[in-house]
Amino acid sequence: MPHVEIKCFPGRTEEQKQKCAEEITKAITETMGCAASSVSIAIKEISQDDWKEKVWDKEIAPQEAELYKKPGYTC
């Protein structure tokens, strides 16, 4: 039962978010061998001003060893 949570800056349209969720669902079902009905995806908008405190410091930096795709930036 994969669950994916995407955090990004505000500004994407609902159509962009829906397309992203569809493409990620497709990739998960193809690579992990599960049904689309098992996948859930959340997209949360975080302001640029809050990114370091709410995302970098709490989720990215402490979990660096678990990241399969690391960011190409630092905070």
Residues 1, 35: Cα–Cα separation, whole Å: 9
Provide the residue count of the chain: 75
Q: How many domains does the chain have?
A: 1
Structural domain range at position 16: 3-66
Cα–Cα distance for residue pair 39/48, rounded to 1 Å: 28
Whether residue 55 lies inside any domain: the answer is yes
| The predicted structure's pLDDT at residue 35 | 97
Summarised one tens digit per residue, pLDDT across range 5-59 is: 999 999 999 999 999 999 999 999 999 999 999 999 999 999 999 999 999 999 9
Active site (catalytic) residues: 2
Query: How confident is the model at residue 75, as a pLDDT?
Result: 93
Position 52 scores a pLDDT of 98
Q: Domain containing 14 — which CATH number? A: 3.30.429.10
Distance CA 33, CA 40 (A): 15
Rounded-to-integer distance, Cα 39 and Cα 1, Å: 6
The answer to whether residue 23 sits within a structural domain is yes
* Residue 31 covered by a domain: yes
Per-residue pLDDT averaged across 53-68, rounded?
97
Looking at the whole model, is its pTM more than 0.85?
Answer: yes
